[in-house]
Amino acid sequence: MKKLITGVAVVFGLIFPSTFTIAAPPDDTFVVGLPTDTIGLEPAQISSRHTANIMKHIFGQLYSVSETGSIDPNLAESYKISDDGKEYTFTLKEGLTCHDGEALTAEDAAYSFNRVADEDLAFTGNSAGFVYKSIDFKEARADSEREVTIVLGGPNHIALGLIAEVYVHCKDSYEKMSKDEAASNPIGSGPYEFVKWDKGSQIVLKKAANPPIPTNFENVIWRVIPEASTRTAELIAGNVDMITNASPDQVEAIDASSTAKVAKVQGTRRMYVGFHQGPEFAVTPGGAAIQKPEVRRALQYAVNVPAICENLLNAPCTRMTGIVNPNNAHPNLEPYPYDPEIAEYLLDQAGYPRDANGVRFEITLQAGEGRYLNDKNVVLAICQYLDDVGVKTNCEILDWSAVYIPLIKEKKAGPMYFIGSGGATWSPLYDMADLSAPDSGPNYTKWMNEEWFKGWKVINNTNDEYIIRREIDRMLEVFYNEGPWLHLYFQPDFYGVSNRVNWNPRRDEKVDLFNATLK
């Protein structure tokens, strides 16, 4: 009987873990529930949106991009662009301070930009891999106490928005720290000061003594709550003020509670399955098959994306036609329909008929778990759709932070992998910049298509809007026909928001708590 009671207790303990252990937050504290922990707190090595969301509260940027695409002052109050479009000079606000107590000057800003590019430090995050490749960053220099100039390799239409993604940190503190020390001990320049990071549990911030932009709450706590049901339970119990990635299956329960509601927005994150084009996977049968554009095209017809949205994401969707968000997409491209018969026909034509066991070829599809909306189930559904057309797909669901992200960063995930890439509505070029160069950080598929990459020269060498749009559409057609992505959807985002606070989500997944208030 004792063992029976223990067994029942274990089962119930596992079903309802730690629901009642944390007290409701005090009035001056905003608590966020996140599905995964951050990999590190190094401002030059950010590779996921939710880490960036934490970092933007600790670090200031020169400018920041609003949801609508306006470029708003942050640490800088004004900017000017040189006639040749290669130099951006920013003037910092007066009286800025670092969290180490030192004055924040142009020298700190220049140091921050140059540190990201330091080859010895070998950063590979969003700034080094995406921003710097896209703008062809050359150097940053301090022109005076408050003026810093960013030098690019050539003119770039979205440089200002991309520069806004680089976090400014403070030279004196960071020069003294090793790379490892800096990864867990951020000395910021933003509205909130780092207090502590209990790995796998929480990151605690308090309002800085001299915040560069106004903010309301005195403290912000980012709690790591991996299980969706536990996040929901914590929200309903009033222990957290906002949760990200609320499970679509729990929307009704949250809305029915008296303590919280779900805020749903159509996100700009592009969810896709990457077809790795690198030689390392071409030696496997499946890896070799997806080197062929005909096979990639055939697989587009095999997956019922609207059904995935409707059933697994609880949100009807229109399938993406490519890399760019709908408002900027190619006007004449139609999403690939779900038609397994066409998929089978095209696979036959591509030289991959079914064998005696009904299998055309075997392939592995890797994915991380917990980062995206219902990601594990979405991936298992995709594997089933591919199985149905004779592509025997081995689904590998991996730990997000410890296993999957390192594979992605090293471009070793594959031969197929599931991921989402943060997007924007303010420019098609921002979305396309994932593939700004063959060696750009987010080109995880190692796609080398010349027809795509030569388009960037055309775009960056003209200011003629008509020529730019024409070239964008040509590139999007190349991507549609031969691209390295299996097109999925733009992720809808579900945030659970406590009734005790006012907070509104953004479409681009950026979480701003600066304007949040207590009701």
Q: Which long-range contacts (CB under 8 A, 24 or more apart) does 400-404 make?
A: 400/36, 400/368, 400/369, 400/370, 400/371, 401/36, 401/37, 401/39, 401/368, 403/368, 404/366, 404/367, 404/368, 404/369
Nearer to another protein (CB atom), residue 168 or residue 315: 315
- Using CB under 8 A as the binding rule, whether residue 232 contacts another protein is answered as yes
Choices 59-67, 84-92, 131-139, 250-258; region in contact with another protein by CB under 8 A:
250-258
Closest approach of another protein to the CB of residue 386, in Å: 12
- Using CB under 8 A as the binding rule, whether residue 249 contacts another protein is answered as yes
- Using CB under 8 A as the binding rule, whether residue 247 contacts another protein is answered as yes
Measured between alpha carbons, how far is 502 from 244 in angstroms, rounded to an integer? 15
Q: Contact with another protein (CB under 8 A): which of 78, 144, 210, 384?
A: 384
Q: Report the half-sphere exposure of 214 (CA within 13 A, side-chain side).
A: 4
Q: Are 36 and 369 in contact (CB under 8 A)?
A: no
Closest approach of another protein to the CB of residue 278, in Å: 24
Q: Contact with another protein (CB under 8 A): which of 19, 124, 216, 229?
A: 229
Q: Contact with another protein (CB under 8 A): which of 10, 103, 437, 467?
A: 10
- Using CB under 8 A as the binding rule, whether residue 243 contacts another protein is answered as no
Measured between alpha carbons, how far is 247 from 253 in angstroms, rounded to an integer? 10
Nearer to another protein (CB atom), residue 203 or residue 363: 363
Choices 44-52, 185-193, 379-387, 446-454; region in contact with another protein by CB under 8 A:
379-387
Measured between alpha carbons, how far is 204 from 211 in angstroms, rounded to an integer? 17
Q: Contact with another protein (CB under 8 A): which of 195, 307, 437, 448?
A: 307
How many Cβ atoms from other residues are within 10 Å of residue 340's Cβ?
Answer: 15
- Using CB under 8 A as the binding rule, whether residue 377 contacts another protein is answered as yes
Binding to another protein, residues 394-423 (CB under 8 A): 395, 397
Nearer to another protein (CB atom), residue 208 or residue 367: 367
- Using CB under 8 A as the binding rule, whether residue 201 contacts another protein is answered as no
- Using CB under 8 A as the binding rule, whether residue 14 contacts another protein is answered as yes
Q: Contact with another protein (CB under 8 A): which of 87, 369, 473, 482?
A: 369
- Using CB under 8 A as the binding rule, whether residue 237 contacts another protein is answered as no
Measured between alpha carbons, how far is 90 from 71 in angstroms, rounded to an integer? 13
SS3 for 324?
coil
Q: Contact with another protein (CB under 8 A): which of 45, 215, 250, 364?
A: 250
Nearer to another protein (CB atom), residue 114 or residue 229: 229
Secondary structure tally for the chain: helices H, strands E: 19, 18
Measured between alpha carbons, how far is 262 from 334 in angstroms, rounded to an integer? 32
Measured between alpha carbons, how far is 258 from 127 in angstroms, rounded to an integer? 42
Q: Contact with another protein (CB under 8 A): which of 228, 271, 343, 429?
A: 228
- Using CB under 8 A as the binding rule, whether residue 3 contacts another protein is answered as yes
- Using CB under 8 A as the binding rule, whether residue 218 contacts another protein is answered as no
Closest approach of another protein to the CB of residue 340, in Å: 14
SS3 for 6?
helix
Tokens 């536990």 belong to residue: 230
Measured between alpha carbons, how far is 38 from 222 in angstroms, rounded to an integer? 10
Measured between alpha carbons, how far is 68 from 51 in angstroms, rounded to an integer? 22
3-state helix/strand/coil string of 337-362: CCCHHHHHHHHHHCCCCCCCCCCCEE
Write the CA distances from 154 to 135, 204, 461, integer angstroms.
8, 41, 8
Q: Are 497 and 263 in contact (CB under 8 A)?
A: yes
Choices 221-229, 411-419, 469-477, 509-517; region in contact with another protein by CB under 8 A:
221-229
CA-based nearest residue to 419, from 352, 360, 488: 488
- Using CB under 8 A as the binding rule, whether residue 227 contacts another protein is answered as yes
Closest approach of another protein to the CB of residue 307, in Å: 6
- Using CB under 8 A as the binding rule, whether residue 474 contacts another protein is answered as no
Closest approach of another protein to the CB of residue 308, in Å: 7
Q: What is the CA radius of gyration of the chain?
A: 24
Q: Contact with another protein (CB under 8 A): which of 205, 243, 308, 435?
A: 308
Write the CA distances from 9 to 2, 4, 12, integer angstroms.
11, 8, 5
Choices 43-51, 247-255, 274-282, 422-430; region in contact with another protein by CB under 8 A:
247-255
Closest approach of another protein to the CB of residue 362, in Å: 14
How many amino acids of this chain bind another protein (CB under 8 A)?
31
- Where do contacts with another protein occur on this chain (CB under 8 A)? 3-4, 7-8, 10-11, 14-15, 227-229, 232-233, 247, 249-250, 252-254, 307-308, 311-312, 369, 376-377, 380-381, 384, 395, 397
